[in-house]
Structure 1
Amino acid sequence: MKLNGLSLISVLFILVSGIACNSEKEKEGENSQDGYKLVWADEFDYEGLPDSSKWSYDTKGNEWGWGNNEEQYYTSRRMANSEVKDGKLVITAIKENYKDHKFTSARLITKGKGDWLYGKVEVCAKLPEGRGLWPAIWMLPTGKEYGGWPASGEIDIMENVGYMPDTILATAHTQAYNHKINTQRGDTIVVPTCYDQYHLYQLEWEPDQYRVFVDGKHVFTFENEGTGYKEWPFDKPFHLLLNVAVGGSWGGAKGIDYSIFPRSMEVDYVRVYQKK
């Protein structure tokens, strides 16, 4: 979940505007245009805590600061930080003293409840704005057959750090390509309305490559070089993560604006498709 040095990647200055999310489900859960079928979704058409049959809470890193020295405490089943209301999932970062931390937030995962090998992932979301925030839509391996991070891979569909306003990053992490050794692969797109409007963050994942889009506009392609897991560990099931981090080695690189809180990422829907 980190990208060092924009000089390492090709920056796409593409203006994206308007609400591109389709709030209506595809007929009978199928996308007849390219042969994909809806296999998992949360439309957030209920109220209260996120559906426990689809989402769990990742809190394992609270005691040691997670992998990027973030400052939030990720809570579990606490509606102040993760609540479904008005047809949206709302993940909120709050400035408060909580278990020796200065901030709380939530990190929701589908692990064990939604794990997929290849397919399409679509997340319609509106992002929180402010220096020190670090919202993300991303995927991690469920089984870690190739070992711990980054050997088993990481797919970052959407990341935004508050001190880079309007900039959406899509990044791949593998043993051969990762930010620890400054070899990560990725691209960016400028979305001026990412904080004001809902946009569609999309992944198309196939055996030979995966592609990331925003509102259907291509951002990044990561190719399978055919040389083994060190370059391409993306042949195992992955699960989805949604979170709003605060601070950290990347998100907090230019400090945190304490006056902005609370701030929320709102998710209209999550849909996962696979080939018939």
Structure 2
Amino acid sequence: MLFQRLVVFLAAGIFVSSAIAQKIVAPPGWKLTWHDEFNGRDGSSPDPKKWVYDLGGSGWYNHELETYTARTKNVRMERGNLVIEAHREDFTGVDGKPQHFTSARLKTLGRFAQQYGRFEARIKIPQGRGAWPAFWMEGVSAAQVKWPACGEIDIMENIPKDPGRVYSTLHGPGFGASSLLQARHDLPEGQKLADDFHVYAVEWSKEKMTFFLDGAAYGSMVLDTPEHGRDLPFDQPFFMILNLAVGGDWPGPPDASTQFPLRMLVDYVRVYAKKN
């Protein structure tokens, strides 16, 4: 009887795992190369085989106000989502810099990187003055060269003054913060990105990058022509980053109207490569 129950249990486990796997249907012409569905136990940390953390409160080149931590108060799994939660609290991080806000920033550096493909995440962003959610990537050369020489691909950024707008931006030598290659997309008037989950994606090839919101393309940037007059650093693998910043040069600081904690929910992150 014990053996039979064990067999039934194992079979059920295989069935559940198969059912979860079958939910991931690759877009036509693509094959899945990496993913995280964030289906771990509630309150647990993200998979350390897939994610590492940026820690501290150095301002992150943007005069941001948060200290990034690895505490489950700031980053955890919950009901099938990754939760990145920003709090208003006094906290001194590992770098010894005291700040008045905490949050989290995860990356796949050293765990996964890919050159070209489709990178997508289903995310529900927070709304509030000072909130700066992002899903983005940097080149693996970031360990050797300074930004923006390593390259940056911002798949999704949002700032409070534009609640219905997604920003997608490329950074590299000669086109950093003051000179951008950028695409934008606005929801219908009155709608906010924070109202629901949305799928943010980029399809990246040697020739161009195309950005998508919920499956609809809204901007392409050509990479293989000399018209930009710049050295484009997109000929290397890139790793992914998820974070929720507080304040900074672009979104501005939180104010009395900002309701903490701010919560960024990530249902999944998936990466595909073109089929041969």
Q: How does 1:56-75 map onto structure 2 within 5 Å?
A: 56-59=52-55, 62-75=56-69
Partner of 1:82: 75
Q: Is the 8 A contact 2:58 2:67 kept in 1?
A: no
CA distances 1:165-208 after superposition (whole Å, capped 9, x unpaired):
221101111112222xx321112112324212110001101011
Q: How does 1:83-102 map onto structure 2 within 5 Å?
A: 83-99=76-92, 100-102=98-100
User: What value does the CA root-mean-square deviation take over the aligned residues?
Assistant: 2.1
Partner of 1:129: 127
Distance 1:75 1:222, change over 3 A: same
**Distance in 2 between residues matched to 1:225 and 1:41, nearest whole Å:** 29
CA distances 1:203-235 after superposition (whole Å, capped 9, x unpaired):
101011111110112122121144499442111
**Distance in 1 between residues matched to 2:219 and 2:105, nearest whole Å:** 25
**Distance in 2 between residues matched to 1:219 and 1:234, nearest whole Å:** 20
Distance 1:63 1:229, change over 3 A: farther
In structure 2, give the amino acid aligned to 1:90: V
In structure 2, give the amino acid aligned to 1:31: A
Tell me the CA shift for residue 32 of structure 1: 6.1
> Which one of 43, 46, 56 corresponds to residue 40 of structure 2?
46
Distance 1:97 1:136, change over 3 A: same
Partner of 1:249: 249
Q: Is the 8 A contact 1:132 1:162 kept in 2?
A: yes
**Distance in 1 between residues matched to 2:87 and 2:180, nearest whole Å:** 31
In structure 1, give the amino acid aligned to 2:88: K
Kindly indicate whether residue 183 of structure 2 is the aligned counterpart of residue 184 of structure 1: no
DSSP-derived class of the 1:249 partner:
coil
Tell me the CA shift for residue 146 of structure 1: 8.2
**Distance in 2 between residues matched to 1:67 and 1:32, nearest whole Å:** 36
Partner of 2:194: 195
CA distances 1:66-89 after superposition (whole Å, capped 9, x unpaired):
11010000002x111001010000
State the TM-score, normalized to the length of structure 1.
Answer: 0.83
**Distance in 1 between residues matched to 2:86 and 2:160, nearest whole Å:** 13
**Distance in 2 between residues matched to 1:163 and 1:32, nearest whole Å:** 33
> Which one of 106, 116, 119 corresponds to residue 118 of structure 1?
116
- Which ranges of structure 1 fall in alignment gaps of 5 or more residues? 1-23
**Distance in 1 between residues matched to 2:23 and 2:196, nearest whole Å:** 27
Partner of 2:208: 209
The structure that is helix-richer by fraction is 2
Partner of 1:264: 263
**Distance in 2 between residues matched to 1:167 and 1:93, nearest whole Å:** 21
| Structure possessing the higher relative contact order (Cα contacts under 8 Å, 6 or more residues apart) | 1
DSSP-derived class of the 1:234 partner:
coil
Q: How does 1:4-19 map onto structure 2 within 5 Å?
A: none
Q: Which of the pair has more CA radius of gyration?
A: 2
In structure 2, give the amino acid aligned to 1:141: G
Q: Is the 8 A contact 2:124 2:196 kept in 1?
A: yes
State the TM-score, normalized to the length of structure 2.
Answer: 0.83
**Distance in 2 between residues matched to 1:218 and 1:274, nearest whole Å:** 18
**Distance in 1 between residues matched to 2:166 and 2:154, nearest whole Å:** 10
Tell me the CA shift for residue 64 of structure 1: 2.8
